[in-house]
Amino acid sequence: MTLAPLPHHTRVVAHLKAHEPDLWAWFTSAPSWSELLERTRLLLLKRAVRLDRATHHHLYAAADHALAALQLDLPLTLYQATHPGAANAALFYLPGEAHVVLEGPVEALLDADELRALFGHELAHHALWSMDDGAYFVADRLLDASAAADAAEDAHDVAARRFALYTEIFADRGSLLATGDVDPVIRCLVKMQTGLSQVSAAAYLQQAEEIFELGEARTEGVTHPEMFIRARAVDRFARALDADLEPMIEGAPTLTSLDLLQQVELTDLTRRFLEWALAPAWMQSAPMLAHARLFFDDLQPQSASGARSPGPHELDAPVPELGRYRESLADYWCYLLLDLAAADPSLEDQPLAHALGLAEQLALLPRLEELAKRELKVKARTLAKLRPEEASR
């Protein structure tokens, strides 16, 4: 088993390079790196005590084992944080050097295998940050800086948080690589987060599965996924069953939880949705196009053959594949259809009948009818007459 960036990591890097070239150029520039490295070295000197190999040989033995397992050939330095606190560990990234800071009673809490898991996790951060000329470390820094900016939008904050969550999942795979066994990985995880001295990995994995059996369980963590998600994710990865990782980390998308990648994806889907809805030539009146171009000023819907002769539900254009956005953003699609239904009063009920037909193809008809009654004050009997099965008779 070898470590590779997760698909989310590679998609984010590609997005940032394409959409933020100036920021990417700055964060990869020599002055930016020089400033960061100088600050990191100073923090290490001020906030931690270096541990020597002779006195802490068993810590270095575990860390050396993890380095070898991750195929990292680096000089290694371990530290103990100067401030007291709960058990924790952190990697301070410097290219070509491995620096791991321990916090709290890590040395007393973990056995040898669990220490290997801990160092495997922290050194996996170094492995990821060093891949592809440091691209994933640059992305992490850029996202954090964007989220902290005064002009930041929710999507910047979600993007930074989500990138960090996937990075923790990646690092847990480093723990597995360093130990070759999921049990010490889970024990280390639970001990570090609870302070327990004795842990049953099997019992905790059963507890994690019970959480998922009760319904959707996505992470609400800020930078680290919840312990039960991390335990389940690394166990399923060990058994080649990690296909459901994305729902565990992201859950169903909502308009307030979109990251930068999802914003681009939803924008593209919205354009295709409007082009699909406006495909009949009779739908392309001046008021209709004016409304649609409030979304995309260059929108050019493809015309279906015929003017007003086909019925409002007859549409040859393929139904857009909305994927995970269809159900979770049902109201969004329905409101787009309702806006079009009301955009040109001269077309009378035809646009609404058309919208009902489109909603039926998307399996959103009941919800569209509910919203039409509430928002457009359409009577139930009017909707009944305009439904696809009635209008086609």
Would the pLDDT of 391 be above 60?
Answer: no
8 exposure class (CB count in 10 Å sphere: 0-12, 13-18, 19+) = buried
Is the dihedral angle over the CA atoms 171, 167, 129, 57 positive or is it negative? negative
Pairing, β 98-103 against β 76-81: parallel
Would the pLDDT of 347 be above 50?
Answer: yes
Cα 232 to Cα 22, 78, 185, 213: the distances in Å are 39, 29, 11, 12
Q: Which long-range contacts (CB under 8 A, 24 or more apart) does 291-296 make?
A: 291/339, 291/340, 291/343, 292/340, 295/270, 295/271, 296/271
Would the pLDDT of 306 be above 60?
Answer: no
**Rounded to whole angstroms, how far apart are CA atoms 239 and 182?**
10
End-to-end CA distance of the chain: 61
In the three-class reduction of DSSP (H, G, I as helix; E, B as strand; rest coil), residue 115 is classed as helix
Would the pLDDT of 265 be above 70?
Answer: yes
Give ∠ CA 255-159-92 in degrees, rounded to 5.
160
**Rounded to whole angstroms, how far apart are CA atoms 67 and 119?**
8
Mean pLDDT of 244-266: 89
Cα 304 to Cα 78, 204, 249, 282, 317: the distances in Å are 68, 58, 41, 9, 7
Over pLDDT 70: what percentage of the chain?
92
pLDDT band at 218 (very low <50, low <70, confident <90, very high): low
